[in-house]
Structure 1
Amino acid sequence: MLGRMGRPGLIGLAARTAVVAGTATAVSGGIASHQANKANQAAEAQAWEAQQQQAAMNAAAAQAVAAQQAAAPAPQATAGGGSDLMAQLNQLAQLHAQGILSDEEFAAGKAKLLA
């Protein structure tokens, strides 16, 4: 018995449609997965760059504070004593408020002045 010639039957058409639909779904799923991976890699790269920039800014701020502290003369004890200390504490507070000093750096500077 020979196969049917001409147009495919209903079952053959349904099978062909299923194969085409399955292939299209697999291809689009692969493309979506590839695009999601690329987006994740770009986001990770951007986060890493931001982290490196923040670290560089923190290092520059720490160097600026160290240079400022090294350039500033040692506080002298005076009979009045309080106004110079208050000025230095206010300066530390301003640097902390501007974000130049971290909480830990501010606490260390304050402890050094009050010691």
Structure 2
Amino acid sequence: MIGMPGLLRGIARTAVIAGTATAVSNRVSRRQAGRWSRQAEEEEMRQQYEQPQQPQPAPQPQYAQPQYAPPPAPAPDPMAAKIEQLQKLGELKEQGVLTDAEFDAQKSRILNQ
């Protein structure tokens, strides 16, 4: 068993290592952020000098487009919904989730809706 001084030494060593790692990580992050901001500034300056500024034509007046209501959604086909339910029911039966009796009961419920 490690004595108390050994335990404290281990904790202190871990704290020093963690602190050093954090400091290095922060320094690298700051250096990268500075490099990226300098690159962005250089790119912006390059674009300004490479493209001569030309006067922009006056914008054409925009007229409001008439607003129309969207067409009504087509009514759902009740038979298509029943077919989809029956297909899902058949898949459950094939997977062994439903017994034959449960399948028949649910099928009759769907068809008699």
Calculate the TM-score normalised by the size of structure 2.
0.47
Calculate the TM-score normalised by the size of structure 1.
0.46
